[in-house]
Chain A
């Protein structure tokens, strides 16, 4: 089966001359349609940089980004964004502070000339568990969890098949995180979405994803199943260390 998302030898460098660093060093993975694929790594490991390259927010990369087996064009076309959408880490930063939620949600519909805007907005708000009145709020009137639900709603409006999730719950309390994770999981199953999810939190990744790539210093050092992660069957020293730290047994 053709993978929904595939990256091959993706390399991204930042800076010039002596300050040149490889943020991502020939990374490759495949995510099958309907699968939740996870990337775990610590700050600066390059995991979020991969997502930004897939979306074309940064198209200064070498290697291939394939969506449904097709090479993604540089720069990305409008049609691309109807297939691939992204949810950002910080719900406080990803919603325009001066625009009403309705304006934020209407935007993708205007750009792609969708009809029945108000119906679609009410429907998508319902899908993410928010009452229709939330359309008439400003971001500062919402809690972190509600904002992240709005961000998910925005990503869903264009009815994409692939959702990139950049630490979608790391800014939230655990009790709020549980609700958002359940929502994301349900949406994937109901709509057959493909997820590529990035996180530093092993618990979140193991819960949400079936397969996980472990990144450190720009390289994918290991790919393993979530079951292997839970059973602590990691091959590389780094992954084992990560698992130990996450289980809270790293110190006396």
Chain B
């Protein structure tokens, strides 16, 4: 991770609620280079908000502030909506949880991928088609010509997620944000999808942020991990050290997971402790 792709400093997000504003992110700072960065946390921890804030995809009613939100030379905070449209899908791509909802049900696979390609690179229709077929092959779809003619509802979950990866990566983005890309998939296909994602990201020399609630998966897949809780980053550590984390929240999360290698009489239920928020590392 020599050069920094995305740099975030003191990012705060709040949503309007019945009694003033409710904080979703309380000042988080991190940077990501050409590496696999994992962001783990439970629902409501703010992990998805962080990803969406970087894409500037939060709803207009959200109150966003940051000291710095920089994608290489571009100041994302100052970028116009028009510039953002070029950046999204062009330099920054996002892979979402469920391809059934993220793909347009009325368009064929081919139409969606070529559209994404032509929006961000100045290529002809024929070039876009060729690139799309190459891309489908690159995500290990055996018969790209057949699959290209299908509609999203005709795809299985794993196949849909490959198509989404193809669509998101065809414009050769510098940074891919994957928000729970495998949570809607069966266990036995999760590994394949992550391998494909990793392969593509490495081939393009891009960075990857993997947002997930699944600690073992992130520990296994990423280089570096941020643990989030209550809209803050609790700790940052190397992924291989995740099972030996020392922050009480991470420890509690690890312990609450039913172990696969031994029998335990009772699981440890994390008692949420307000002090966690002060023990940031």
Interface of A toward B, CB cutoff 8 Å = 42-43, 144, 173-179, 181-182, 185, 200-204, 206-208, 226-227, 230, 241-242, 245-252
Contacts and interface: CB of A to CB of B under 8 A. Distances in A.
A11 to B, nearest CB: 23
Interface residues of B, number: 35
Given A178-B267, A178-B268, A204 B187 contact: no
Contact of B42 (A175, A179, A242): A175
B266 A182 contact: yes
Given A173-B213, A207-B258, 12 more contacts: A43-B186, A173-B42, A174-B256, A175-B42, A175-B256, A175-B269, A178-B270, A206-B258, A226-B263, A245-B188, A245-B191, A251-B191
B194 A251 contact: yes
B192, B195, B258, B266: most-surrounded residue (chain A CB, <10 A):
B258
A80 B77 CA distance: 62
A208 B262 CA distance: 12
B257 interface: yes
Contacts, number: 88
A122 to B, nearest CB: 23
A227 B261 CA distance: 9
A218 to B, nearest CB: 15
A149 B42 CA distance: 19
Nearest to B268: A178
B157 interface: yes
A27 to B, nearest CB: 19
A103 B262 CA distance: 42
B217 interface: yes
Nearest to B256: A178
Contacts of A181: 258, 267
A182 B267 contact: yes
Contacts of B213: 173-174
A202 B42 contact: no
Contact of B253 (A174, A179, A208): A174
B259 interface: yes
B252 interface: yes
Contact of A203 (B43, B258, B272): B258
Interface string B181-204: 000001110111011000000000
Nearest to A203: B258
Contacts of B260: 202-203, 206, 230, 246-247
B258 A200 contact: no
B195 A202 contact: no
B21 to A, nearest CB: 21
A242 B219 CA distance: 19
A250 B220 CA distance: 10
Nearest to A216: B188
Interface string B229-266: 00000000000000000000000110011111111101
B259 A203 contact: yes
Given A202-B260, A203-B257, A230-B263, A250 B191 contact: yes
A230 B192 CA distance: 23
Contacts of B258: 178, 181, 203-204, 206-208
A182 to B, nearest CB: 6
A177, A207, A246: most-surrounded residue (chain B CB, <10 A):
A207
Given A173-B42, A178-B269, A207 B191 contact: no
Contacts of A202: 187, 260
A144 B44 CA distance: 12
B216 interface: yes
15 contacts: A42-B187, A173-B42, A174-B215, A174-B256, A175-B252, A182-B267, A185-B266, A202-B260, A204-B258, A227-B263, A230-B263, A246-B260, A248-B219, A248-B220, A250-B188
B190 A245 contact: yes
B133 to A, nearest CB: 25
Contacts of A174: 42, 213, 215, 253, 256-257
B257 to A, nearest CB: 5
